[in-house]
Amino acid sequence: MAYYPIVQKNDRPVAISGHRLLPTFYMEDFSVLGFRVNDRGHAIRVLDRHAFSLKRTGGSIEVDIAGASQMHDVMQLLNGDGLECEIADIAEGMYQG
């Protein structure tokens, strides 16, 4: 079980905050996979209507995904409801110096 952020296309990348910590031995690139959609509000309503577990944290929203097949289910559900949806790295770029 993992939570994946839902973000609006063309929005700024998500900054890493206190609720999503960097790995202890972070040395290279860091990614946060999420769903990038063309209408975030619509996507949230669709997932809510289909009983997906959603977590709201500090202005962001994430959907609970139980496994790889459920990622595909979410994509099909959102695309089938007329939304553009892709799985993308949504984390803000960072450098460890």
Mean pLDDT by runs of 10 across the 97 residues of the chain is: 87 56 59 90 96 87 91 94 92 59
pLDDT at 86: 93
The total number of residues shown for the chain amounts to 97
* Cβ neighbours, 10 Å, residue 6: 23
Inside any domain, residue 96: no
In-domain check, residue 21: no
Q: Residue 59 domain-assigned?
A: yes
pLDDT given at position 89: 83
**Residue 24 resides in a domain:** no
> What is the C-alpha separation between 32 and 13, in angstroms, rounded?
10
State the total domains in the chain. Answer: 1
Q: How far apart are CA 13 and CA 15, in angstroms?
A: 6
Can you give the CATH number for the domain in which 60 is found?
3.30.70
Domain that includes residue 72, residue range = 2-16+31-89
- 22 in a structural domain: no
Q: Which residues contact 64 (CB under 8 A, 6 or more apart)?
A: 1, 2, 3, 52, 53, 54, 55
* 97 falls within a domain: no
pLDDT of res. 43: 97
* 85 is a domain residue: yes
Query: Edge-to-edge, what's the strand order for the sheet holding 33-37?
Result: 54-57, 60-65, 2-8, 33-37, 85-89
